[in-house]
Every structure is written in C-alpha cells, then in structure tokens.
A and B are shown apart, each in its own frame.
Chain A
Amino acid sequence: SYVLTQPPSVSVAPGKTARITCWGNTIGSKSVHWYQQKPGQAPVLVIYHDRGRPSGIPERFSGSNSGSTATLTISRVEAGDEADYYCQVWDSGSDHRVFGGGTKLTVL
C-alpha cells in the first residue's frame, strides 16, 4: 500500500514562512491535497491538486509537488495558522485514499 510520510512537527516564528513536506514514492506523479485541522474540529481542505486553493483560503497558502516530495508553504505565518496539517493522495492502483501521518505546526 502507498505510504505518505510527514515530519511530526514544524515550528516557525510569526511573519516567517513555514514549509511542511510530504514524502511518497514518485508522489510527483500524483495529485496531492492538504488539510488543516484545528483542535476539536473537522479537517478543512486548504490545497487541492497540488496547488489549487479553495475559495476562502488565503493566498498565503500555496503548494508544490515534484519527484518524491510535496510541499505546503504558508507565507507570513499567523498565530491562527497553528494546527495539524495532513497531506492526502488517491492511490490509483488500489483506488484507496491515503493520508500522511500529519504535521503539527507551532507558531512560536
């Protein structure tokens, strides 16, 4: 089965740029989606298809995907961005949906 690996935690100072990575075998050939989850809440889609941004998501959120790494970039980080972030792909071979283990973003 397809595996996605994320760092458990990332820390960043307010106003700086946070980069959260998601590793997977030839992930660059797949579409990667990213979700933000705050405590006690359901996940919210922040990036779809590698770099698409749903309505209502700030332009500070962006994504990229190449080779074996997909990256969620959050520019000008704010205290309100502190949350868990999950990457997700569709594994076409099995038709399964797969999540990464999640990354806790801490705003210092």
Chain B
Amino acid sequence: QVQLQQSGPGLVKPSETLSLTCTVSGGPISDHYWSWIRQPPGKGLEWIGYIYYTGSTNYNPSLKSRVTISVDTSKKQFSLKLSSVTAADAAVYYCAGEREGSSYFDYWGQGTLVTVSS
C-alpha cells in the first residue's frame, strides 16, 4: 500500500517561500500523478497542482504565478514551493496521489499545518 510522508516547516514568514516535500513509499512513483492540495482553517479543499512522474506539471490558475512543483524520482519525492506567501496562504497542505487514468486521489499525506507569521 502506497504511503505518503510529508516534511517541511510549519512556519513561514510573510513574503518568503513555503517549501514542502512528500516522500512516496510502498509503491512506485511512476505511473502516478502527484498533487498538492490545501485547506485553509475552517474552509474547503483547494487543488494547487500536480506533477507527473516524468516532470510535466499543471497548476491551479489562481496560484500558477507563485507555484512550482518538482519531482525527484531517484528519492521518490515530490516537492511544493509557493513564493511570496501572505496570511491568505495559511492552511493545512496535503500531498496526494492518483494512479494514472483514475482521476481520483487514493493516497494522501498526513497534512502539514503552515502558519504565515513574522
């Protein structure tokens, strides 16, 4: 069974860059789309974007100018960078995976609460 383990700081200063990493275990990183999803406190889920194991990406237009998702297949990791953060970016960030062709998320990380504060 595929498991996702998230890592990265839970506190980011305003205007700086949020960085999180998700490590895949128990299954292949290939043949999957790997997404980042966030959830502001008390609000719903927002898809941020995905990376395919080949490196191709697609981002939510609302965040596209500030988001970079990358993959390191040798380490079975994929990462999120969100630049110029503000208080509006405070949220629980999840990594999630979908098998190619499925279009649904059957693997989820544990979530990381990111606070934006100086």
Contacts and interface: CB of A to CB of B under 8 A. Distances in A.
A97 B35 contact: yes
B106 A45 contact: yes
Category for how many chain B residues contact A: 20 to 34
Interface residues of A, number: 26
A63 B11 CA distance: 39
Interface string A45-60: 1001100001000000
Interface string A34-50: 01010000111100110
Nearest to A32: B104
B47 A97 contact: yes
Interface of B: 35, 37, 44-47, 50, 58, 60-61, 94, 102-106, 108-111
Interface of A: 1, 31, 33, 35, 37, 42-45, 48-49, 54, 84, 86, 88-90, 94-102
24 contacts: A31-B104, A33-B103, A33-B105, A35-B45, A42-B94, A43-B45, A43-B105, A44-B108, A45-B106, A48-B104, A49-B104, A54-B106, A86-B44, A86-B45, A88-B104, A89-B103, A90-B103, A94-B58, A96-B47, A97-B35, A97-B103, A98-B47, A99-B37, A100-B44
